[in-house]
Structure 1
Amino acid sequence: MTDALENHNGTVSIGKRNITNLRFADDIDGLAGNEDELANLVSCLDDTSRKYGIEISAGKTKLVANSTTSFTRSIVASGQQLETVNQFTYLGAIISEEGSKAEVLARAAQTAAALAKLNQSGTTGTSPSGPS
């Protein structure tokens, strides 16, 4: 990653620090302020990966825009155009073009399902009208 990002200057800033990627084990989430920057980031990663005998899995690599406009250019890794999606899951959290809305809705649904399961088993000792 150090080699790949050597000539890449990111514009996404968090706490006055430029952030170009998030990494956990072999999962990488690239961050870019616009699609030209994203294309450059993917190109840098792709070129450097090949130098080390590693290939980016284009089938597993997805693009998502966190804006009202979609991508207008083709972004390629390992000779294949990368797919644009509305959302994907990264380390168990939903990343979406709508920001955190999908993640909040998913967590709320999980909570409601868990509470319904508890109510069905009778372990909560409460009913909709109050304690039993």
Structure 2
Amino acid sequence: MSDIVPASTELAIPTDSAPPSFLRLAARMVRLVTAAMGLRDSMGDLQRRMILDAERGEQRADMCDVAEVEPRFTAKMRDASLLLREVATASGEVAQSVEEAAMAADDLRSEHQAEYGGIHEAANANPGVRQALPGFYRTR
């Protein structure tokens, strides 16, 4: 049985017609970073498991050599161990890529906060003052 889990729709683009907002974008970046870190941890777990399984397969193949088991079966065990090591290597590469994506998303969140956080706070400091619609201050 597989441990594959269906993709989450938490990061999907919202289908409602609500205008983009400072808080919505910040929340989505936090969710993206959290999801990426969870994926990175899962890939690390997979990598450790595949390395352990590859080592155990090699040990079994060695024991089969000592017990003079048919060489073609021992060769299949060694091939399986080699493939498990390749999966471990690939999952490590995926984990590294996810780590980089998480750092980029966190940098985006930080830059967004630095650039627009003060504007958001000022706009919400006096709720009695009506603010312009998004895009009003955009320069062309």
The alignment's TM-score, normalised by the length of structure 2, stands at 0.24
Structure with larger RCO (C-alpha < 8 A, sep 6+) = 2
The alignment's TM-score, normalised by the length of structure 1, stands at 0.25
Structure with the larger helix share:
2
Structure with the larger strand share:
1
> Which of these two proteins has the greater Rg computed from alpha carbons?
2
